[in-house]
Amino acid sequence: MNIEKIGTLGELKASGWSPKSIRQELRDNVIDKIAKRESIFPKIAGYDETVLPQIEAALIAGHDIILLGERGQGKSRIVRSLVSLLDEYIPYVAGSEIYDDPFNPVSKYATQLIAENGDNTAIEWLHRSKRYSEKLATPDTSMADLIGDIDPIRIAEGRYMSDELTIAFGLVPRTNRGIFAINELPDLSERIQVGLLSILEERDVQIRGYRVSMPLDIVLIATANPEDYTNRGRLITPLKDRFGSQIRTHYPQSVDVELAIVDFETNSVAYRGEEPYFPPYLRELVATISQVAREASFISQRSGVSVRATIANYEAIEAAAIRRSLISEAEKAVCRLSDFWVIVSSMAGKIEIDASDDSDSISVIPKLISRAVLEVFRRHISLDQVKGVTQYFDSGTEVSVGAENSDNDLLALYSAIPDLKNAVDGIEPSPAQDAKVAAVEFILDGMHQSKRLNKYEDGGMMLYARRSR
């Protein structure tokens, strides 16, 4: 349909265009994409077998949806991606604040305009990007924000307060024929929840004591923390009952999924024209730190550990590697375990310590790193593989990391111990010396976490030595 040629109601009728409700529109487009084997949520990872099928079924059923999940589980991204399931353009009565359907107008303005002008009523076209509104629920959210209020200027022009044309509409009416999303729904006061229910369920608005009938066409998508949503008194029962589908989101269930999200979201900074080299086992370590934190007893799981923590940590480690490379005038930036000190700052604001624990975030992050190092080390290397390393250190050898010329010492160790060389080559495909140094450093720390070596820290330096007998 060439919408540029359709500018009046009469032309719209002649074009054969037929109206659809927002639910019909979403249903038809979801069904069409599934039938064509097209991805409905191409930028969402890790939910293909769990969350997304439930959302697709809810949309086909025409339900309003509430997504329950802790922070950083992609709820907002899912909600915003629903816009792509709308038709690219829809017609509306020109000048209408709530984008009235020309065939089914609901506002007094559009109804009067069509009654006066008939088929000559002007039509405009609305892109799907304009058919989405989002509001973060806060205790101070008002009826005026969501529903609307009396406009004193329009009263001054001579209209009565009971006249619908005196209303300055809020977000919900202005999202007519679209998707309205409200984040952290339980944070709305009960009075506002009642007002929201009235316009969504009863199809009327009460503003300043005046009742205005307004059968809006809206799909409501809400998000909430599961604990807030299930606590009695946080959400009025009729509004809770309004949602046809309640869908639980979750954190990435594997390291690979978490890294896929990181790759999509991370903004890497170039060093001498190239992105820093991030060894595969250290990439795995970044994701494992977050997964370990999600199981740690001293971390508040009510708040969760967002995937944003993994992304921020990844970016911070790359930045630390660049900084170190600039200082040492290295040819390339290679991320190393000794760069992980930086996540104390990048992760501290993204975790909350359990109220029963006396620790703080800065002191527990090194614990998370140590646990994650041990997990990743065990996935890739057995202690039998590195027996020769233990024996070498038992002879009295000590190696420092972070001191001047320590890289040469680590390379010498790599060349001198066959078991170490085999282990390094097994986890590090790159032949570059800097990459081999990084792998040696990781293996030594993994052996320390496995209680095969001692590690002594002094400022920014670490000394690995034989285990005390």
Token code pair at residue 42: 């191409």
Nearest CA-CA partner of 92 in 168, 167, 9: 9
d(CA 37, CA 31): 10
Counting Cα atoms < 13 Å in the Cβ hemisphere of 407 gives 15
pTM: 0.84
Token code pair at residue 51: 């969350």
Q: Where is average pLDDT lowest: 95-104, 297-306, 311-320?
A: 297-306
- Classified as helix, coil or strand, 453 is strand
- Per residue in 133-158, pLDDT (tens digit) is 999 988 888 877 887 776 666 666 66
Write out the CATH class of domain 3-248: alpha beta
For strand 132-136 and strand 178-183, is the pairing parallel, antiparallel, or unpaired?
A: parallel
Give the CA distances from residue 34 to residues 16, 67, 128, 283, 413, in Å, rounded to whole numbers and listed in that order.
26, 22, 20, 34, 56
The mean pLDDT value of the chain amounts to: 89
d(CA 353, CA 299): 5
Cα angle: 409, vertex 411, 414; to 5 degrees: 115
- Per residue in 203-254, pLDDT (tens digit) is 666 666 556 667 889 999 999 988 777 665 578 888 888 889 999 999 999 9
Token code pair at residue 420: 């170490």
- The residues, any chain, with a CB within 8 Å of residue 440's CB and separated by 6 or more, are 410, 411, 413, 414, 420, 424
d(CA 236, CA 198): 12
418-427 and 387-394 are packed helices; what angle lies between their axes, rounded to 10 degrees?
Answer: 140
Unique residue bearing structure tokens 């919408």 = 3
Beta bridge partners of 463: 400, 456
CATH fold of 251-380: Helicase, Ruva Protein; domain 3 (1.10.8)
